Amino acid sequence: MKDVFVVSDNIFSPIGFTTGENLASLKNGISGVKQQVGLSMSDQPFYAALFDPNLFSTDHHRYTSFEQLLINSVASAIENSKVDPGDKKTVLIISSTKGNISLLETGKYDPQIKHRIALHASAKLVAAHFNFVNTPVVISNACISGILAILTGMRLIQSGQYKNAVVVGADALSKFILSGFQSFQAVSQEPCKPFDVARNGINLGEGAATVILSSNKKYETAIKIAGGAVSNDANHISGPSRTGEELCSAIKKALEQATLSASEIDLISAHGTATLYNDEMEAKAINLAGMQAAPVNSLKGFYGHTLGAAGIIESVIAIHSLKEGILFPTRGFNNIGVSVPLNISNKIQTGGSYKNALKTASGFGGCNAALVMCRQ
């Protein structure tokens, strides 16, 4: 089976428009999560990581804010690679949970709006912008979308259908999205605290991220996407498994595909939403997989939950953690608040020798995903 390597990447977020800027912000403890007041999407103050609205063009007939996020991120990643979008062996994969859903708040629901909010419509526009010759692939599976998009890229390359995959994820916050999470009473009224005893909900965030994958042997010294798997709880439309067995199953299958044992994982980038049930389930899954001693972090305190971008943003940070031997802290964490042991990173650690990283995610509908990345 073909090896799949990470050629280039980008993170476009409120704390930086390049991966380098994002890493610098994380190293300096800078978070994008701030109290938001007086916005049309909520009558009450709330905490979230949002872009300056003046950043985006208001000509939404051409590209919406969501599409501009995708374009900005892809442009940066392509600029730092030699991958040609016009190559018949290159595919564009787009991850999002909500896409242009905010258009329902700003316009009349007519055939034009109905077409514009469809994810495939945005995908075609972005593909055309960069002159991709192949029909883009859209991945939208709740909050595992980003990881699933990377796995899809890996599998399309391993199957021989493509040699390169440009994988990008994005979501922009809207009243529709915020009110949905508020209806679940899942939004914290303060900065979130993943895995902490005092955690009480998520902060949402906006962002985009891109990874470019390739089977080209000239990249064989780069980070390798070594394995991945998905599973489903079949438990509840919004509540995760109470045992963690299903996420554990995805983790074990990802390790098996990567031909690694649990003890060989050097760091875990957790989903870590700071909700009561998700963090508990994820902690149990990590324990069931025998990885309770591995250092774990959640980046939600820096980015908020960026939905369809989260899996890719957090994977890119894990990739650079492997490259630079650095482990970032779980912002907001102070005291363990889950029922099983977990080695939560609560301060930045540098000078480490990390070779293998695990990225996990879970989402509504009971979906779970696990991804293994290795430094060559």
Task: Tell me which fold the domain 5-218 belongs to.
Answer: Peroxisomal Thiolase; Chain A, domain 1 (3.40.47)
In a 10 Å sphere around its CB, with 0-12 CB exposed, 13-18 middle and 19+ buried, how is residue 128 labelled? exposed
Distance, CA of 132 to CA of 221 (rounded, Å) = 27
Band of pLDDT at residue 37, cut at 50, 70 and 90 = very high
Residue-level pLDDT at 92: 98
pLDDT tens-digit series, residues 272-305: 999 999 999 999 999 999 999 999 999 999 999 9
Report the 3 state secondary structure along 310-351: HHHHHHHHHHHHHHHCCECCCCCCCCECCCCCCEECCCCECC
Residue 239's pLDDT band (cuts 50, 70, 90): confident
Kindly compute the dihedral angle of the four CA atoms of residues 317, 318, 321, 326, in this order, to the nearest 10 degrees: 90
Give one DSSP letter per residue of 251-293, joined into a string: HHHHHHHHT--GGG--EEE------HHHHHHHHHHHHHTT-TT
Predicted confidence (pLDDT) per residue in 71-120, tens digit: 999 999 999 998 999 999 999 999 999 999 998 887 678 888 889 999 99
**Per-residue pLDDT at 11:** 98
Within 8 A by CB and 6+ apart from 333, the residues are 193, 194, 195, 196, 298, 301, 344, 346
Residue labelled with tokens 């891109």: 210
Residue pair 188/47 in contact (Cβ under 8 Å)? The answer is yes
Q: Do 5-218 and 222-374 show the same overall fold?
A: yes
> CA-CA distances (angstroms) from residue 43 to 92, 205, 329?
38, 18, 32
Residue ranges of the domains in the chain? 5-218, 222-374
Share of the chain above pLDDT 70, in %: 99
Residue 325, pLDDT > 70, answer yes
| Rounded CA separation 31/304 (Å) | 9
The dotted CATH code for 222-374 is: 3.40.47.10
